[in-house]
C-alpha cells in the first residue's frame, strides 16, 4: 500500500468531521469498531473499489448487500441511464412500479401485493404498523441481535427477564415507545413459548431476520422458525420475515424459500425486502396477502406514504438486477463461489491454529473467531474482537475490504473471479499467521 493512502483519507476524514457528525452518514463507516481511518471511496467497478488515494480493494461489502452483480454491471447501468433521461422523479405512478411489484410477487409465494418504499428502515417500520393495524394489537416481539432499521420501536434491547419489556438502545427514544416491544433470545424456543403463554392475546407480530446479518451471520434454526409459525397461528399474531439482507441474496426465492423446503407449507405473513431489489438504489418493499394489505391506505386505515416511493430510476435499477439474477444457475454459481471463499478462510485459520468458524448461504457469508458457530447474540459477543480487528486491518492493508465491524455479514458478487477469491484466501493466510 502506498504511504499516501492514509494521508489522503485522513485529510477527507478530518474535513468531514467538521460538517458531518462523526465524519460519516452511517455510524459503522467511521471505523470506530476497528480503529483507524475510514477509506473514502472514489469509484467502484465489478468486485473492486478504489479509495481517494487510488488504492484498489476487493470489495466484500457490496454496499451492504445490494451489489449482487458487482458494481456497474453494464445492463444495469444502461437501464439506469435510460430511466434517468426519462425523469428522476414524478410523484405519480409509473408502469415500472407495477413491473417490479410483479417481479417480486412472482418469486415469493407468500406475497400477493407489495408496497414500494425507499429504505429498509421505512419498510420495517411500515410492516410493524401494518401488523398492528391488521390485528388491533400493540405488542411486538423481536430478538436480540436482529436489526430491523432505526425506527423507535425497534431500537430496543432485552430487559432483565422474560416478563420485562425492552428498553431503548438509543437516546431520543422515549421509554413509553419501547414498552410494547418484547425482546427475546434468538433461537430460544422456550422463551418464545413462554412469551406467547403470558402475552399471546396482545401480540401483534413476531419479527425476525431469518439469517441475522447484524450478528455477522447467524441462522434461525428450523425448529425455532417452525415453532414461531405454530404459535403465531394459534394466537392470531403475524409472523414478519425481515429479508432486507437475505431477500434475493441467499436464494432467488429469498430465505423463506429455504425454510419452506424444511417446513412443509411454511410462509411468513409479512415480508420485508431491500438492498438487492433496488440494485444499489434507495428502494425497499414490504408485502403480504391481499387480506392483510387491505388495511393499508388508501384502502384501509393504516397510513403510509413517501414522495420517492417507487422512484422511476430506482425501479429501473431493481428490475434490471432481478432480471439478471433470474438466469438459470446464477445462485448455484454464486453459492459455490462463496463457499470456496469461506472454506479457504477456514483452512487458513486451521493452518495457523486460530479458532475460526464460518457459514454462508448464496452470496452472503459470515465468520467468527470462535471454536463453534454461535446461535444467539450473547454467544456472538464472546468472539475475539481484538483478533478480528487485527485480521480486518491485515486484509485491508493487502487490498481486501471486509466490513469494518465484527458484527456484520459479508457479501460476494457474481463479479468476483476465481482469482479474486484466491487472492483473498492468500491474504488471509498471511494475516492468520500473525494472529
Alpha helices in 202-311, H assignment, sequence order = 222-235, 254-262, 290-293
Cell numbers representing residue 361 in the block: 448461504
Please give the Cα distance from 235 to 217 (Å, whole number).
Answer: 30
Beta strands 400-401 and 203-208 are unpaired
Cell numbers representing residue 300 in the block: 384501509
Let me know: does 142 contact 228? Beta carbons within 8 Å: no
Q: Please list the residues that pair with 219 across neighbouring strands.
A: 211
Q: Please list the residues that pair with 44 across neighbouring strands.
A: 49
DSSP state of 237: P
Q: Is 275 a catalytic residue?
A: yes
Mapped onto helix, strand or coil, the DSSP state of residue 385 is helix
H or E element, residue 14: helix 4-19
User: Which of the residues 48, 51, 142, 275 is marked catalytic?
Assistant: 275
User: Which of the residues 147, 186, 259, 401 is marked catalytic?
Assistant: 147
Please give the Cα distance from 323 to 308 (Å, whole number).
Answer: 23
User: Which of the residues 51, 242, 269, 420 is marked catalytic?
Assistant: 242
Please give the Cα distance from 262 to 329 (Å, whole number).
Answer: 21
Q: Is 147 a catalytic residue?
A: yes
Helix axes 330-352, 418-432, angle to 10 degrees: 20
Q: How many CB atoms lie within 10 A of CB 377?
A: 22
Let me know: does 281 contact 314? Beta carbons within 8 Å: yes
Please give the Cα distance from 373 to 121 (Å, whole number).
Answer: 28
Alpha helices in 57-119, H assignment, sequence order = 74-86, 95-107
Task: Indicate the burial class of 347 (C-beta count within 10 angstroms; 0-12, 13-18, 19 or more).
Answer: middle
Report phi then psi at 288, rounded to 5: -165, -160
CA 207 to chain CA centroid, nearest Å: 14
Alpha carbon of 14 to those of 36, 40, 43: distances in Å?
12, 12, 20
Number of helices followed by number of strands (H, E) in the chain = 14, 18
Please give the Cα distance from 20 to 3 (Å, whole number).
Answer: 26
Cell numbers representing residue 34 in the block: 476497528
Residues labelled as active-site residues: 147, 242, 275
Amino acid at each position: 500500500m502506498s504511504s499516501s493512502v492514509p494521508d489522503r483519507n485522513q485529510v477527507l476524514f478530518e474535513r468531514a468531521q467538521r460538517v458531518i457528525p462523526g465524519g460519516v452518514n452511517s455510524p459503522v463507516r467511521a471505523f470506530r469498531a476497528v480503529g483507524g481511518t475510514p477509506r473514502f471511496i472514489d469509484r467502484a467497478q465489478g468486485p473492486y473499489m478504489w479509495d481517494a488515494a487510488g488504492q484498489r480493494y476487493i470489495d466484500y461489502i457490496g454496499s451492504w448487500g445490494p451489489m449482487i452483480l458487482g458494481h456497474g454491471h453494464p445492463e444495469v447501468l444502461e437501464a439506469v441511464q435510460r430511466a434517468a433521461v426519462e425523469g428522476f422523479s414524478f410523484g405519480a405512478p409509473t408502469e415500472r412500479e407495477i413491473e417490479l411489484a410483479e417481479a417480486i410477487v412472482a418469486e415469493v409465494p407468500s406475497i400477493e401485493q407489495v408496497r414500494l418504499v425507499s429504505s429498509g428502515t421505512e419498510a420495517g417500520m411500515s410492516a410493524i404498523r401494518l401488523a398492528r393495524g391488521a390485528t388491533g394489537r400493540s405488542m411486538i416481539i423481536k430478538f436480540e441481535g436482529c436489526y430491523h432499521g432505526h425506527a423507535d420501536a425497534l431500537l430496543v434491547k432485552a430487559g432483565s427477564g422474560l416478563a420485562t419489556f425492552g428498553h431503548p438502545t438509543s437516546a431520543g427514544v422515549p421509554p413509553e415507545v419501547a414498552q410494547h416491544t418484547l425482546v427475546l433470545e434468538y433461537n430460544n424456543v422456550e422463551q418464545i413459548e413462554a412469551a406467547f403463554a403470558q402475552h399471546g392475546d396482545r401480540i401483534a407480530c413476531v419479527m425476525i431476520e431469518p439469517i441475522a446479518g447484524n450478528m455477522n451471520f447467524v441462522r434461525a434454526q428450523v425448529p425455532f422458525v417452525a415453532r414461531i409459525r405454530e404459535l403465531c397461528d394459534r394466537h392470531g399474531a403475524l409472523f414478519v420475515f425481515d429479508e432486507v439482507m437475505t431477500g434475493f441474496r441467499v436464494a432467488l426465492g429469498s430465505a423463506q424459500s429455504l425454510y419452506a423446503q424444511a417446513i412443509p407449507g411454511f410462509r411468513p405473513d409479512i415480508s420485508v425486502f431491500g438492498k438487492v431489489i433496488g440494485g444499489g438504489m434507495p428502494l425497499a418493499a414490504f408485502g403480504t396477502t391481499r387480506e392483510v394489505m387491505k388495511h393499508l391506505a388508501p384502502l384501509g386505515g393504516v397510513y403510509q406514504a413517501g414522495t420517492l416511493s417507487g422512484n422511476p430510476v430506482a425501479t429501473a435499477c431493481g428490475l434490471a438486477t432481478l432480471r439478471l439474477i433470474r438466469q438459470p444457475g446464477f445462485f448455484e454459481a454464486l453459492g459455490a463461489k462463496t463457499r470456496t471463499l469461506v472454506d479457504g478462510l477456514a483452512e487458513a485459520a486451521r493452518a495457523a491454529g486460530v479458532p475460526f468458524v464460518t457459514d454462508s448461504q448464496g452470496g452472503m457469508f459470515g465468520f467468527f473467531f470462535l471454536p463453534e458457530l454461535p446461535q444467539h447474540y450473547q454467544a456472538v459477543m464472546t468472539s475475539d474482537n481484538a483478533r478480528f480487528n487485527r485480521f480486518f486491518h491485515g486484509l485491508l492493508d493487502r487490498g481486501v475490504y471486509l466490513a469494518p465491524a465484527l458484527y456484520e455479514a459479508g457479501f460476494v458478487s457474481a463479479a468476483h473471479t476465481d482469482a479474486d477469491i484466491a487472492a483473498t484466501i492468500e491474504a488471509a493466510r498471511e494475516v492468520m499467521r500473525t494472529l
